[in-house]
């Protein structure tokens, strides 16, 4: 049977009787210090709930609840004022949360040199509050209360509340990201370790998934920095596994891992790669090759780019290397093929060199009027002449 009157205090690690604490005039453990005798808890609670004192307090509590719901208490007017105040504060906090979210999305600092309203250097957060107060009656009323001193101790405009709002928004975002990762099920991790300005080694954690929330597309989620007290492969691997466990993301679903070329990260014996492979052999290591990038830069002076769906000019940039430097790109791929010892990379470099060679051997006129026109067939008319020039 559920005991609605029973409450638990995490601070005291004890049980209390709510109704007796409100109405009883006797000093008992369940109203003063709480009950923490867990071995005999069932016996004590049964005895207490059958006592006349407790039954009278339960009756008074239930009668009060009925009067509160029907608005028949002697402090009905005070209750109405309390409800109006609750609604007002909820409206104020909703607006302050929206301001914090707006500034965070634009990566703007919240605070300035002072925390005083209507001063030149009080920061973006208070400036947004001042601007909103010009058009919003709720925020205008709130600032008037602050200026009159009626809300001086709980204005909710200070840096502590700002930090708390940021933490709450961060927790919500992390929760949504974790839901996205769990829905995708399989993921890859991208890690990088570097010292910050205070010379503390930090491990950045990025999780890459095929997101299924709207339509399938690749998405990378930055999960934050982890402070690394040690830079050994064992410690870094333990950190990432602990972080995934805290987020509720099973490492058994990891299908890829990628790092820089430091020995403690990619080492085959004691690096992060090896230790994570021991936990999950399917978390295949994908190296990041600075050597192959160096080979490409030796042959061409521009980089290979992907296009963005929202920027038409990026599509022009993406075809420039194969349009004007096709032969040089092919030579770079051949050099990678000849220098690598990895059969998979050798085969891929050979295949890509053959495909690029087909573009390089084609006439510039054919490539310009057919391939580029096909890529840009949906761009607005003014941009077509630029793209095909």
Residue 127 lies in a domain: yes
Comparison of pLDDT for 368 and 60, the residue scoring more: 60
My answer on whether 19 and 35 are in the same domain is yes
Going by C-alpha positions, the residue among 98, 95, 100, 102 that lies closest to residue 111 is: 100
Residue 76 lies in a domain: no
Residue 80 lies in a domain: no
Query: What's the sign of the alpha-carbon dihedral 143, 144, 145, 149?
Result: positive
Residue 188 lies in a domain: yes
Beta strands in the chain (DSSP E): 6-9, 14-17, 187-195, 201-211, 217-227, 254-258, 284-285
Domain span at residue 209?
175-285
pLDDT of 314 > 70? The answer is no
d(CA 193, CA 228) in angstroms, rounded, equals 8
pLDDT of 306 > 70? The answer is no
My answer on whether 186 and 279 are in the same domain is yes
d(CA 349, CA 345) in angstroms, rounded, equals 6
pLDDT of 364 > 50? The answer is no
My answer on whether 31 and 46 are in the same domain is yes
My answer on whether 106 and 65 are in the same domain is no
Beta strand 187-195 with 201-211: parallel, antiparallel or unpaired?
antiparallel
Mean predicted confidence (pLDDT) in 314-343: 77
Residue 136 lies in a domain: yes
Residue 330 lies in a domain: yes
Neighbours of 83 (CB within 10 A): 10
My answer on whether 247 and 308 are in the same domain is no
My answer on whether 274 and 298 are in the same domain is no
Mean pLDDT, the chain, rounded, equals 82
Given 70, 102, 123, the domain boundary residue is 70
My answer on whether 180 and 277 are in the same domain is yes
My answer on whether 180 and 272 are in the same domain is yes
Residue 233 lies in a domain: yes
Per-residue exposure over 299-327, b if at least 16 CB sit within 10 Å of its own CB, e if not: bbeeeeeeeeeeebeebbbbbebbbebbb
Worst-scoring range by mean pLDDT, 44-53, 95-104, 164-173, 337-346?
A: 337-346
The SS3 assignment for 208 reads strand
d(CA 173, CA 170) in angstroms, rounded, equals 5
Residue 1 lies in a domain: no
d(CA 40, CA 42) in angstroms, rounded, equals 6
Going by C-alpha positions, the residue among 275, 362, 351, 289 that lies closest to residue 327 is: 362
pLDDT band at 270 (very low <50, low <70, confident <90, very high): confident
- Structurally, the chain folds into a number of domains equal to 4
Over the stretch 17-32, which tens digit does the pLDDT of each residue have? 999 999 998 888 899 8
Please report, for the domain that includes residue 237, its CATH number.
Answer: 3.30.420
Given 258, 285, 312, the domain boundary residue is 285
Worst-scoring range by mean pLDDT, 12-16, 95-99, 143-147, 284-288?
A: 284-288
pLDDT of 378 > 70? The answer is no
Task: Assess contact for 205 and 188: CB atoms under 8 A.
Answer: no
Comparison of pLDDT for 336 and 297, the residue scoring more: 336
Task: Assess contact for 205 and 233: CB atoms under 8 A.
Answer: no
Over the stretch 210-246, which tens digit does the pLDDT of each residue have? 988 778 888 999 998 888 888 788 888 899 999 999 9
The SS3 assignment for 166 reads helix
d(CA 372, CA 307) in angstroms, rounded, equals 13
């Amino acid at each position: 049977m559920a005991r609605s009157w029973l409450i638990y205090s995490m601070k005291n690690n004890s049980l209390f009787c709510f109704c007796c604490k409100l109405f009883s005039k006797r000093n008992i453990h369940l109203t003063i210090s709480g009950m923490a005798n867990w071995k005999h808890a069932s016996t004590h609670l049964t005895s207490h709930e059958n006592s006349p004192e407790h039954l009278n307090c339960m009756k008074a509590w239930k009668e009060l609840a009925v009067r509160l719901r029907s608005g028949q208490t002697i402090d009905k007017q005070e209750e109405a004022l309390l409800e109006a105040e609750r609604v007002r504060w909820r409206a104020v906090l909703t607006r302050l949360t929206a301001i914090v979210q707006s500034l965070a999305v634009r990566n703007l600092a919240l605070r300035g040199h002072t925390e005083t309203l209507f001063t030149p250097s009080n920061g973006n957060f208070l400036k947004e509050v001042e601007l909103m107060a010009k058009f919003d009656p709720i925020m205008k009323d709130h600032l008037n209360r602050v200026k009159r001193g009626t809300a001086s101790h709980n204005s909710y405009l200070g840096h502590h509340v700002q930090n708390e709002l940021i933490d709450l928004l961060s927790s919500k975002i992390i929760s949504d990201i974790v839901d996205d990762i769990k829905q995708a099920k399989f993921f890859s991790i991208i890690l990088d370790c570097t010292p910050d300005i205070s010379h503390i080694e930090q491990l950045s954690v990025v999780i890459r998934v095929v997101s299924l929330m709207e339509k399938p597309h690749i998405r990378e989620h930055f999960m934050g920095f982890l402070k690394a007290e040690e830079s050994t492969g064992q410690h870094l691997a333990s950190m990432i596994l602990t972080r995934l466990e805290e987020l509720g993301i099973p490492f058994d679903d990891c299908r890829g891992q990628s790092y820089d070329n430091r020995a403690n990260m990619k080492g085959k014996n004691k690096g992060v790669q090896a230790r994570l492979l021991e936990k999950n052999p399917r978390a295949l290591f994908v190296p990041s090759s600075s050597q192959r990038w160096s080979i490409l830069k030796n042959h061409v002076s521009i980089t290979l780019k992907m296009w963005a769906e929202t920027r038409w000019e990026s599509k022009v940039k993406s075809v420039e290397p194969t349009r004007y430097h096709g032969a040089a790109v092919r030579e770079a791929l051949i050099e990678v093929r000849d220098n690598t010892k990895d059969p998979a990379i050798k085969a891929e470099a050979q295949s890509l060199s053959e495909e690029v060679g087909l573009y390089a051997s084609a006439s510039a006129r054919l490539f310009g009027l057919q391939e580029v026109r096909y890529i840009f067939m949906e761009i607005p008319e003014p941009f077509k002449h630029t793209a095909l020039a």
